[in-house]
Amino acid sequence: MTREARPKKADWSEGTARKKQAGVSDMTMLSKITNEAINENLKMRFHNADIYTYIGNVLISVNPFKDLGIYTPEVLKSYENKNRMELPPHVYAIAEGAFRNMIAYSENQCVIISGESGAGKTEAAKKIMEYIAAVSGGNSSSIKEIKRMVLATNPLLESFGCAKTLRNNNSSRHGKYLEIQFNAGGEPVGAIITNYLLEKGRVVGQIRNERNFHIFYQFAKAASQEYRDKYGVLGPESYLYTSAAGCLDVPNIDDTKDYADTIKAMDVIGITPAEQDDIHRMLATILWLGNVQFVENDEGNSQITDPNITQFIAYLLEVNPEMVDKVMVSRTIETSRGGRRGSVYDVPLNIAQAQSTRDGLSKAIYDRLFNWIVMRVNKAMQARAESNYIIGVLDIYGFEIFEQNSFEQLCINYVNEKLQQIFIELTLKAEQEEYVREQIKWTPIDYFNNKVVCDLIEIKRPPGVFAAMNDACATAHADPKAADQSLSQRLTACSHSRHFELFDGNFTIKHYAGDVTYSISGMTDKNKDQLMRDHLELCKSSSNGFLQGLFPEDLTQDSKKRPPTASDRIKISANELVTKLMQSQPSYIRTIKPNENKSPSEFDDKRVLHQVKYLGLCENIRIRRAGFAYRQTFEKFVERFYLLSPQTSYAGDFIWTGDSKAACIQILKDTGIGPEEWQIGTTKTFIRHPETIWALENQREQ
Ligand code: ATP
Ligand code: MG
């Protein structure tokens, strides 16, 4: 069956360049549905600068790696109040659809953006936010302020949460779900950001040619003279945390300009000058901590090489300098007997232990600083009025395969696996199940369900990968090597899975997006993610209120319960996220990376084919083509379209006295659309082509 392409206006409005589209702009209209045909179509379009393509209501976006001039205010305006087929595919059309559906059907919406690292998720998320800010109403100063703040979160969180990696010069190193809250009139009244697991290990070291978080270079390069004097700020070449990986500058990134934008964003959000001072103080502390070096003393223990540096850190932290020195080279161990606290010892650290302790403090401060910023942003964006609906925009770190993969990659890939699962649940599985449930005529279509991989990672019994890691943490305490060995042993329990393989010090998971080999070394420690009591005491002893506030834990409470591990936290937040997304009407953007070289002209067939396959685009097209583009409960359908039948409306009033199902049938018959275009299920009305529903919307307008 080849669907007849209906003649459509496929160019932008007056004033913008009219351009002929290459290939098909909705791949449900491809004459042959194969991975190769999809690849060819995307390629043709990529070379013609048509980076967006639909599969029904799913937007495929291929990263152009250049400015195409397609995000001007004119182009943006041209998408307002238009349906998807009236204009060429665009991320703005997705934003428009979510916004209008929210209002038309009083339903929460979410935009789920997925794709591998560097494919264009963060850019797409920003365009969605810009679009919504531009078209949503409200001239009051409080609504304008909310819009300004929402947009300002981008430069701010990118500075603190993005970094240059080998895959992407602006790689998100945390996940982010932004919910914009609207009043009944569709005006934004507030927003909330949920943050997912920042890759804090990056603060203390990066692989060669990667960088630390952008903010450190911005600050070290562009700090004011006042900060240079007060916090001892030097250039990024002077700090090990920013220079050891051998990359200080990134093409097309202007750290000095970005620093100005970061500060401007802080001002827009209302972060006070005093708070900004404290943020900078923390950044300087971290930079200087990285420069604390150790030598071995006669007893084989570590000794601080340059006590001037720790003196300065004590000044920055506003704590007693002796305490800093002590925390750097020794560790307090407390014996406990029968749950009661016993004697306290100071155990000296060897050099490796001292380095790891120093890094632990830096990571803890940065992680908490980041969470503080998110908290502060949320406080500023708190809803000004009652919020009736929400549009959520999800932008996380993309699927990642490095030469060396560790705990961070496992968490990132796990979250991506969960997102793929939502896509499968909602577009492939639920769609087909709904047809069965609603007793619609249907021929089932096969697809790979990655739930087995999600289970392999997160299931409790038999222990999955996370459970094995938690068990290893619980048993092997002090010695990280013993803990890793214990983990190796426990992971054998996963070997029953076809998607898992364990071999000398590594394990491989066959993810939906490719096989990734993870190194076990250091994993248990990263999972345990325990803040040292000595660090807590140090920070709590500070006379700086900001620093104290970052560490609110109560030192006197000795909880017997195991604190949640890092994997516990990511598992809980990923599942909460899934629940939230499942309760909203989803729109999907699936981003594709055309090559590994950030090249605007290269289209690497092999790499794209791989993505086309694992994204399940073929199955997506098949199900879409055989299925129904629109479905709505009888009640909501009637509420929306009762004006279209003289049997259900008189002079604009609703006059039907029968049930909603009969009303639906009456309306559909009276609008004169063909009987092959719609089916009535047990609770919902189904309409085959989106064009039909738009025709109904047009009639309704009239
Ligand atoms: P990660 O998972 O690493 O965070 P990502 O999917 O968020 O990756 P982006 O940061 O959005 O990737 O995109 C990477 C780079 O590609 C951008 O910095 C930009 O240079 C370019 N890019 C992405 N989308 C577009 C676009 N629509 N137009 C022009 N350039 C783009
Ligand atoms: Mg990103």
**Per-residue confidence (pLDDT) for residue 339, from 0 to 100:** 58
pLDDT band for position 476 (50/70/90)?
Answer: low
Task: Give 531's pLDDT tier (boundaries 50, 70, 90).
Answer: confident
Tell me the pLDDT tens digit for each residue of 209-239: 999 999 999 999 999 999 999 999 999 999 9
Contacts of 74 (CB under 8 A, 6+ apart): 12, 13, 15, 16
Average pLDDT in the chain? 91
Query: Is residue 31 very low, low, confident or very high in pLDDT (cuts 50, 70, 90)?
Result: confident
What's the mean pLDDT in 13-22?
59
Q: Confirm whether 187 is a catalytic residue.
A: no
Residue 318's pLDDT is what? 98
**117, 154, 405, 413: which is the annotated catalytic residue?**
117
> Which ligand gives the minimal distance to the CA of 165?
1
Of 248, 345, 349, 247, nearest in space to 292 by CA: 349
Q: How far is Cα 50 from Cα 677, in angstroms, rounded to an integer?
A: 30
Ligand 1 atom 21: the closest Cα is on which residue? 65
**Is the pLDDT assigned to residue 340 strictly greater than 70?**
no
Q: What is the ipTM of this complex?
A: 1.00
Nearest atom of ligand 1 to the alpha carbon of 400:
2
Helix (H, G, I), strand (E, B) or coil at 253: coil
CA torsion angle for 202, 516, 491, 483 (degrees, to 10)? -20
> Using CA positions, which residue lies closest to atom 13 of ligand 1?
120
Compute the average pLDDT of residues 102-106. Answer: 92
Ligand lying closest to the C-alpha of residue 92: 1
Contact between 60 and 617 under an 8 Å Cβ cutoff? The reply is yes
| pLDDT-wise least confident of 147-161, 326-340, 381-395, 648-662 | 326-340
Question: Ligand 1: which of 63, 66, 129, 399 to mutate, most ligand atoms within 8 Å of CB?
Answer: 63
Query: Is residue 633 flagged as an active site residue?
Result: no
Distance, first Cα to last Cα, the chain = 34
Taking 60 as the threshold, does the pLDDT of residue 9 lie above it? Answer: no
Estimate to the nearest angstrom the gap between the alpha carbon of 62 and the chain centroid: 18
pLDDT at 335: 73
| Closest to 329 in 3D by CA, of 305, 362, 365 | 305
Q: For residue 123, which ligand has an atom nearest its CA?
A: 1
Least confident among 15-19, 25-29, 360-364: 15-19
> What pLDDT, on a 0 to 100 scale, did the predictor assign at position 137?
85
**Which of 114-123, 255-264, 282-291, 632-641 has the weakest average pLDDT?**
632-641
Decide which of 392 and 525 is more confident: 392
118 noted as active-site residue:
yes
* pLDDT given at position 16: 44
Which residues have CB under 6 Å of ligand 1? 63-67, 115, 117-123, 167-172, 397-398, 591
Is the pLDDT confidence value at 649 over 60? yes
Q: What angle do CA 243, 293, 335 make, to 5 degrees?
A: 125
Q: What is the C-alpha separation between 46 and 62, in angstroms, rounded?
A: 7
pLDDT of residue 111: 97
Quote the DSSP letter at residue 427: I
Instruction: Tell me what the mean pLDDT of segment 506-521 comes to.
Output: 94
Give, to the nearest 10 degrees, the angle between helix 121-135 and helix 91-105.
50
SS (H, E, C) 31-43: CCCCHHHHHHHHH
Query: For residues 514 and 432, what is the distance between their CA atoms, to the nearest angstrom?
Result: 26
Residue 284 · residue 231 · CB < 8 Å: yes
For residues 593-619, average pLDDT = 95
d(CA 198, ligand 2 centre) in Å? 13
Mean pLDDT for 603-614 is: 96
Which atom of ligand 1 lies at the shortest distance from residue 125's CA?
Answer: 11
Dist. CA 231–CA 224, nearest whole Å: 10
Average pLDDT of the residues in 487-500: 93
Q: Mean pLDDT, to the nearest integer, of 512-525?
A: 92
Q: Alpha carbon 177 to chain centroid distance?
A: 6
Q: Three-state secondary structure along 380-422?
A: HHCCCCCCCEEEEEEECCCCCCCCCECHHHHHHHHHHHHHHHH
Mean pLDDT of 540-544: 96
**588-598: average pLDDT:** 96
Q: Which of 65, 162, 198 to mutate to test the pocket of ligand 1 (most atoms within 8 A of CB)?
A: 65
| Candidate of 68, 169, 170, 599 to mutate for ligand 1, largest count of ligand atoms within 8 Å of Cβ | 170
> Does residue 172 carry a catalytic annotation?
yes
Task: Report how far ligand 1's centroid is from the alpha carbon of 390 (Å).
Answer: 25
Q: Which of 154, 168, 427, 645 is catalytic?
A: 168
Q: Known catalytic residue: 194?
A: no
